[in-house]
Chain A
Amino acid sequence: MIEWVKRQVTVLRAPSRYFSLGFLTIGGFIAGVIFWGGFNTVLEATNTETFCISCHEMRNNVFQELKTTIHYTNRSGVRATCPDCHVPHNWTDKIARKTQATKEVWGKIFGTIRTREKFLEKRLELAKHEWARLKTNNSLECRNCHDFEYMDFTRQGVRAEKAHSTQLARGEKTCIDCHKGIAHKLPNMAGVENF
């Protein structure tokens, strides 16, 4: 066995006997593109709402709730899908979030939140992860669509204008501090700071 492994390693380390350097470079490049493309295609495929709600935990719980909110239907017909709010756009962050999501797939397989009851039990913890993430990135995902620079306060409600022109403008608070529960029902908020 060890002998065999050693032989393979020698083969791998030996310079190529049959293929030209050019072929190897270009071939390698093409293979790389194909691999990369494939990787990204898979990544993109997991980055759609259809994928998110293909598992019933999401379809029966959070998706049903999202459907009643302004981010699903509104007068202008612009929609926010799951990845818009939950997956970072920038590549390193995206990969980091996806790696983390692997844990959630684990949760799926072992049925951590298989029933509505189990989901509700776990909900506060799940929500806290999202709040913490949005708090640290200054609600980046919200700002991808809602740009503070272009908010016309004169067009907003009085309460909105007051809050946005003070605490938000001064950077004391970020979107998620005030807009928890914007897309789904909230868990039991007893003990959650500032709610």
Chain B
Amino acid sequence: MKQMIVCVGLFGIIYSAHADDNIATLRGEVSITDQPPAPRMEQVEDHDIKRKRNYPMQPPTIPHAIDKYYQVDLFVNKCLSCHSRQHTEASQAPMVSDTHYKDRDGKVLAEVSPRRYFCSQCHVIQVEVKPLVDNTFEGLLHDPATGW
């Protein structure tokens, strides 16, 4: 029995080592000892035009660049310095909606809820590039509630 396990184990290792050759890695077709040329950094969309949401509860995509110096960590949340309730007058940014102030039991808090603190967990920037994989997702054409 023991021998059997060792055999299967060995086979597994050899097989996986072999199979590795065929796996496309993020590195591309470059051997591990070579340094591939860096891919281009695409320009982040920064034209401040909102994109359509594909369904009502989709977190809207971010219509502006955030790669500048938008620090979000234990100390600071730069996004909130424009999007929080206190700051929308000066920044003229849309206020984070009330769902951001609710904890998971639906209780409304005075501050943005911790589970909504790291904005880019849900909200993402956009770049104008050919998608790496095809996407056949079809958004809702109508809002089922209103039919619009």
Which residues of A are in contact with B by a Cβ distance under 8 Å?
Answer: 69-70, 157-159, 162-163, 167, 181-182, 185-189, 194-195
B81 contacts chain A at the CB level, 8 A cutoff: yes
A159–B90 Cα gap in the complex (Å)?
12
Q: For B74, what are the chain A residues with a Cβ–Cβ distance below 8 Å?
A: 188
Instruction: Name the CB-closest residue of A to B93.
Output: A159
Contact between B75 and A187, CB atoms less than 8 A apart: yes
Contact between B75 and A189, CB atoms less than 8 A apart: yes
Contact between B48 and A181, CB atoms less than 8 A apart: no
Q: For A167, what are the chain B residues with a Cβ–Cβ distance below 8 Å?
A: 90
Contact between B64 and A181, CB atoms less than 8 A apart: no
Query: Given known contacts A185-B71, A186-B71, is B48 in contact with A157 (CB within 8 Å)?
Result: yes
Contact between A181 and B76, CB atoms less than 8 A apart: yes
A132–B6 Cα gap in the complex (Å)?
70
Q: Would you give the shortest CB distance from B112 to chain A, in whole angstroms? A: 13
Number of B interface residues at 8 Å Cβ cutoff, please give it: 17
A167–B47 Cα gap in the complex (Å)?
21
- Cβ-neighbour of B64 out of A159, A163, A188 (below 8 A): A159
A194–B71 Cα gap in the complex (Å)?
16
A162–B90 Cα gap in the complex (Å)?
11
A84–B74 Cα gap in the complex (Å)?
29
A82–B91 Cα gap in the complex (Å)?
29
- Cβ-neighbour of A186 out of B47, B68, B76, B90 (below 8 A): B76
Q: For B46, what are the chain A residues with a Cβ–Cβ distance below 8 Å?
A: 157
Contact between A189 and B76, CB atoms less than 8 A apart: yes
Q: Would you give the shortest CB distance from B46 to chain A, in whole angstroms? A: 5
Which residues of B are in contact with A by a Cβ distance under 8 Å?
Answer: 46-48, 64-65, 68-69, 71, 73-76, 78, 81, 90-92
A195–B71 Cα gap in the complex (Å)?
13
| Chain A facing B: main interface SS | loop
Q: For B81, what are the chain A residues with a Cβ–Cβ distance below 8 Å?
A: 195
Q: For B47, what are the chain A residues with a Cβ–Cβ distance below 8 Å?
A: 157-158
Contact between A188 and B75, CB atoms less than 8 A apart: yes
**23 A-B residue pairings within 8 Å (CB atoms):** A70-B68, A70-B69, A157-B46, A157-B47, A157-B48, A157-B65, A158-B47, A158-B48, A159-B48, A163-B91, A167-B90, A181-B71, A181-B76, A182-B69, A185-B73, A185-B75, A186-B71, A186-B78, A187-B75, A188-B75, A189-B75, A194-B90, A195-B81
Q: For A157, what are the chain B residues with a Cβ–Cβ distance below 8 Å?
A: 46-48, 64-65
- Cβ-neighbour of B75 out of A69, A70, A186 (below 8 A): A186
Q: Would you give the shortest CB distance from B16 to chain A, in whole angstroms? A: 38
A69–B69 Cα gap in the complex (Å)?
7
Q: For A158, what are the chain B residues with a Cβ–Cβ distance below 8 Å?
A: 47-48, 64
Q: Would you give the shortest CB distance from A154 to chain B, in whole angstroms? A: 13
Q: For B48, what are the chain A residues with a Cβ–Cβ distance below 8 Å?
A: 157-159
